[in-house]
Structure 1
Amino acid sequence: MRYKPKWTLTGVVIVKQRKRRRRLKKKVKIVLAIIGVFILTLVWITTANKEEEEEMKTNTATEEVETESEKGTDVEVTEKEEEVEKTDETTEAGQALMDKTLEMNASYPGNIGLVLLNKATDEKIEVNADTVFTSASLYKLYVTYAVLTEVDKGNLSLDTTINDQTMATIDDYLRETITVSSNQTAIALANRLGWDVIEKFAQENGFTETTFNTSNENGVILRGTLQTTPSNVADLLNRLMDGTLLSKTSSDYFMGLLVDQQLVYALNTGLSDEVSFAHKTGVLDSVSHDAGIITDSDGQDYIVVVMSDGWTYAYDEATPFFIEMGQSIMDYLSAQ
């Protein structure tokens, strides 16, 4: 065995210790570097979280502002859907009727339209007066107006035969059209004049929201959805009463048809027997209307138009509504 001097062994040990120290320092540096990265990561995450929180606060504030803005828009839409006409001359009784109508409008399906014109005081109460409703049989008021205008012009006569088989006259058909709301006679009269002619006639005479949505199919005029507004119907009745719609003879004749109304399922259910009601009803599954002239025991007249939609089977479902509406109108009349 070869002999190695002590100093040589000691030198090897020293070299090995130095190598260990270098490796240890390297490990320490690596650990410190890892710790540094970890700390930097924590700082970055904390900062990012704070920025995110600030952004969330900003977004939340923005959303709250947008929500308030949307609420404001909803209010505008609601007010638009419930168009209310209130003037400085609105009486306490008028305001009560308006409030009651709005209350019912909120609780019943669909829309409720009301126009009440006090002919003695000119007070007018309107809720959704310009809302377009399906006309149902109220379109027959416009057909009658158009036919009687032709009578006034001398182009037709109430004695004109319209059915050669039955020898029924225009007078017979108008009475059936208004007093019992016959669809057969109303359609025959409309076909006699032309649906498009009556539609154009109505609009040219100021009833601009009233339409039959007619179309021409290969030369045949077809009617579509029949539409009108409470305001248009009230205007027709008001002009009829004022004598500006037709001649005196035709005006009296038209009023007589309304007086002889046989259908009393709507507003009559809530009106008192102390008043008379010359009117025209209109009902389909989804809509129910009543429009006419109420005359109280003192001879004071009121134009009244009530239109409603959103029903499933209106003839039955609308009865409680019309009872309540009629009673509310009676409360107004009693205050006059």
Structure 2
Amino acid sequence: MRQKALDELARRAEARGGVLGVVVQGASGERASVNADRTFTAASLIKLPVLLALLDGVEAGRWSLDDRLPVRDRVGGAGILRDLADVADLSVRDLVSLMIVISDNTAANLLIDRIGQHTVADWCARHGLHATVLARRMMDAEARERGEENRTSPADMATLLDGLVRGTLLGPAATAFALDVLARQQVRDRLPRDLPDNVRIAHKTGELDGIRHDVGVIFTNTPIVVAALTENTEEADDLIAETARRAVQSQPLFRSL
């Protein structure tokens, strides 16, 4: 994707008092970016390093996708577990699906409690995600009032997704599992919105008041990593969708960046 196109999209966000941060990266490492290292409130993007840190522990034998966890401390926001009072326990595998596919906050908290916040922090540090911080559980209003906020950057999300799709972060089985669950993401109003129906995308969204994100891998002739994060722009969905569309349309031009 041409740098000029990203700069144009960023100016559109700025003209309305907002911010757009994007990294678009091709299979050979060619990259265009704007505000790549800017730190954003992560919203549900923080569930991505939770997913990968968990799968890293599965591979190491510290826990299993077959482990069953009691469903407790249901919280609001995204998800369905808060409404399923008769569900007593679920496998880690199913909790992962709920956390990613419908961004269930209760499922995310159960998995965070299972592996520990320190495990996510250690995993991020080992893989160079220095802007990514899991500071609190989902929907912890008291922690947010204390200034404890989950954060990340477009560059960190692109690094994570690039490592995932290349198979350098996890083994083949765990990599396939992670990409499969991300491909089942049900929120499709941002990166996938303007793409052809036959284009596969594995991605994760995030949103809070004033926050709209989407990051993922678009599978065309070769994988394209797109990490698009926004703050305070009414055009967020349009800007993110246009970023993905332009990235796919300009794929043969990556080498000339």
Q: For structure 2, which runs of at least 5 residues remain unmatched after alignment? A: 72-86, 138-142
Alignment of structure 1 residues 1-336 onto 2, 5 Å: 93-119=1-27, 121-163=28-70, 166-213=88-135, 224-296=148-220, 299-311=221-233, 318-333=236-251
CA contact (8 A) 1:136 1:284 kept: yes
1:96 shift after superposition: 3.6
In structure 2, what residue type is equivalent to 1:112? L
SS of match in other structure, 2:175: helix
Pair 124,142 (structure 1): closer, same or farther in 2 beyond 3 Å: same
SS of match in other structure, 2:212: strand
TM superposition score normalised by structure 1: 0.63
CA contact (8 A) 1:196 1:214 kept: no
| Number of aligned residue pairs | 231
1:334 shift after superposition: 6.7
Identity of aligned residues (%): 29
CA contact (8 A) 2:10 2:19 kept: no
SS of match in other structure, 1:267: coil
Tell me the distance in 2 between the aligned counterparts of 1:212 and 1:139. Answer: 7
CA contact (8 A) 2:9 2:239 kept: no
CA contact (8 A) 1:269 1:322 kept: no
Pair 104,334 (structure 1): closer, same or farther in 2 beyond 3 Å: farther
CA RMSD of aligned residues (A): 2.3
**The structure with more radius of gyration:** 1
The structure with higher relative contact order (CA 8 Å, sep 6+) is 2
More helix by share: 1
1:125 shift after superposition: 0.6
TM superposition score normalised by structure 2: 0.82
SS of match in other structure, 2:103: coil
1:183 shift after superposition: 0.7
Tell me the distance in 1 between the aligned counterparts of 2:106 and 2:154. Answer: 25
